[in-house]
Amino acid sequence: MIATLVAVTASAQVPCDNGLVTVKTNAAELVERACRASDRVFAQLDACDQRLSERVNIQTAQEILGDCLGLFHCGKAKIEVLTPDALSRKIEADSIFAHIPPQEFFESVVIHELIHALYDGTPCTAEFTECYVTSEYLAYALQFEALPTKFRAPWLDEFDPNETVKRDEISLGSLMLETDQFALSAWAHLKQRPDRCDWINGILDGSIVFTRPRH
């Protein structure tokens, strides 16, 4: 009987106070963390008058298909994110994320996937892969922006965010082959926009896409 009760509790979707996210996990602490992460990114989006159009369900997992850290299921308003324990097993010692505490990293992955959920409502006005790169650009940029400054500090020793990021650094090739560099460039590129909200809004209405140069 106790096992049944535990199972019922574990499978429940717990709503966050923001009304836009529910969380399903075995660990109460992760409900709090996922809700807090969603509050943080919603505050960033709110500043540009953007919000999710439908409620998203977040679920924690020990394993995700495709060896991902997090996954947004397009069209289903569902996100899977590895638990902090599972995340810490996945992060290699030489990763740019290695110094970030797993709980903090968990929150940042929630933010990354919520941006994919938001971009899911954007019409793709270019090739699919170009919209994919654009979605990753915004997801990484806002994920990094949401990290406490002290966790970005080690990157700044090797990477100068004030050096102008060229638009062709945001490409499918760099996303696939140098994901860490892509993520850092995305964050710096967004920071360098004088019109941050115009840029974010342009991406979300489909008018800005990182297209490949045409020859």
Question: Interface with Zn ion includes 139 (CB under 5 A)?
Answer: yes
Nearer to Zn ion, 138 or 165 (CB): 138
- Residue 143 DSSP symbol: H
Q: Beta-strand (E) ranges in 33-76?
A: 56-61, 70-73
How far apart are the C-alpha atoms of 163 and 165, rounded to whole Å?
6
Q: Which is nearer to Zn ion, 70 or 84 (CB)?
A: 70
Q: Which is nearer to Zn ion, 139 or 141 (CB)?
A: 139
Which segment (33-41, 100-108, 138-146, 159-167) binds Zn ion by CB under 5 A? 138-146
**Shortest-Cβ-distance residue relative to Zn ion:** 139
Count, residues near Zn ion per rule CB under 5 A:
2
Which amino acid, 197?
C
Binding to Zn ion by CB under 5 A, coded x per residue (else -) over 118-137, reads ------------------x-
Helix (H, G, I), strand (E, B) or coil at 44: helix
DSSP symbol at 123: -
Return d(Cα 5, Cα 96) in angstroms, integer. 41
List of residues contacting Zn ion (CB under 5 A) = 136, 139
